Each structure stands twice: as C-alpha cells, then as structure tokens.
Copies of this chain bind each other. A is one copy, B any other.
Amino acid sequence: MSERTGILLVVSGPSGSGKTTLCRLLADSGEVRYSISCTTRPPRPGEENGKDYHFLSKEDFFHRLEAGDFLEHAVVHGNLYGSLKSEVVAHLNAGRDVVMDIDVQGADQIRQCPDADIRRAFLDLFVMPPSEEILHQRLSNRGTDSAEVIALRMHNALEEMRHWRKYGYRLVSTTVEEDFVQGLALITGERLRVSRITDP
C-alpha cells in the first residue's frame, strides 16, 4: 500500500440532480467520510444534529466565521451554511478521503483556498440531472412544496447548472447504482495520483 494524503471530493449540482444520494452512498460504503456542514436553518422533520448538519444559531455561526473556522460558507435562501476546516483536515492528513456536498458558491471558495493541504486534496465533481424533464419531475415529486417553490427551484437549478465547466469532472446522472459506480471509480483512480503519494 502507498502512503498518501486524503482526497477532498467536492460534489455540487442542482437540487434534484442526485448529488446528495451519491454522496450518501459513497459515505455509506465506507470509502469516504461525509463532511457534515453547519447551517443556521432549522432542522427539517427527521434531520438530526451532528448527522445531517451541525445546526448552529446565527450568533454561533458568526463567532466561528470570525475565528476563521470555516473552509467555505454561503447564504442560501436566507440561511447560512458552512464547512468547518477541522472537520476535513484531520481526515486528509491521516490519508482518509472526505466528500462534501456543497453548492457552486462554496466550491468556488474552496477552489480559491490557499492552504496547500486543501489544494492537494481537492477534487471537484459536478452532477447533472439526466434531462430538464427528469429534473422537473424530481423537483415536483417531493410533494411538499407549492408550484411557486417548484418553479423557483427549477430556476435556481438551471442557473446552477451553468457552472459545470468550472469543475474538474462532470457526471451526468443516470441511475442511483450507476452514479455510485462512476463516483467510486473517480475516487479509486484518484487514489493513484502521484501528487498525493507521500512515499519517498
């Protein structure tokens, strides 16, 4: 086995693309660690603190932001989201791979991070829905939102999809199983990357 530092797989894509399912499957397979984001939005039914998100008050969030604890942060629909450096760097240095499910703004911030550990680890993947029709179905089928909210989500999704060329890799989602195979192949190949191998 080669000694190496970990991969930071940053996954973006619109709501309904399948990116969150992909990240969860990669984490559940034991191949990568899931980086849990912080947010100031209230938990949805079934969401657990420390599992789905670290739910923080706005006061706590700003305190940590001032302390420089965040790798990236963003405002989405009026709520704050961010990823703690401490959540990521310890894993990378121990050779463990980390996956982060973040939006285009957050990925931009990590892409510009000057920290050598983060730059070496960085691997960015954009997940696209199979088609606009299927995206619309997926955003409608949640069954919890009004037509206006669905239309706004669709607008935001199409906006977000314009940014795929900023990413190193792009996956056009097909099925949950095939997306997982593709994502796992990307990580498996990247584990061979010389710039992360620490062997003499």
Chain A interfacial positions (CB closer than 8 Å to B): 1-2, 125-126, 164-165, 167-172, 181-182, 184-190, 192-195, 197
A-B contact pairs, 7 of them (CB 8 A): A165-B194, A168-B195, A169-B192, A171-B192, A181-B188, A182-B188, A189-B189
Task: Return A118 CB to nearest CB of chain B, in Å.
Answer: 20
Q: How far, in angstroms, from A189 to B171 measured CA to CA in the complex?
A: 9
- List B contacts of A186 (CB < 8 A): 188-189, 192
Q: How far, in angstroms, from A178 to B146 measured CA to CA in the complex?
A: 50
Which residue of chain B has its CB nearest to the CB of A123?
B189
Task: Return A134 CB to nearest CB of chain B, in Å.
Answer: 15
Q: How far, in angstroms, from A189 to B182 measured CA to CA in the complex?
A: 7
Q: How far, in angstroms, from A165 to B167 measured CA to CA in the complex?
A: 25
Q: How far, in angstroms, from A94 to B80 measured CA to CA in the complex?
A: 46
Q: How far, in angstroms, from A169 to B190 measured CA to CA in the complex?
A: 8
> Knowing A188-B189, A189-B189 touch, does A194 contact B182 (C-beta < 8 A)?
no
- List B contacts of A164 (CB < 8 A): 194
The one of B168, B169, B184, B192 in contact with A125, judged by C-beta atoms closer than 8 angstroms, is B192
Q: How far, in angstroms, from A181 to B188 measured CA to CA in the complex?
A: 9
Which residue of chain B has its CB nearest to the CB of A128?
B2
> Knowing A2-B170, A170-B2 touch, does A190 contact B189 (C-beta < 8 A)?
yes
Contact between chains at A169 and B185 (CB < 8 Å): no
Q: How far, in angstroms, from A172 to B1 measured CA to CA in the complex?
A: 7
Contact between chains at B194 and A169 (CB < 8 Å): yes
- List B contacts of A181 (CB < 8 A): 188
Contact between chains at B192 and A170 (CB < 8 Å): yes
Which among A167, A171, A186, A189 has the greatest number of chain B C-beta atoms within 10 A?
A: A189
Task: Return A168 CB to nearest CB of chain B, in Å.
Answer: 6
Task: Return A189 CB to nearest CB of chain B, in Å.
Answer: 4
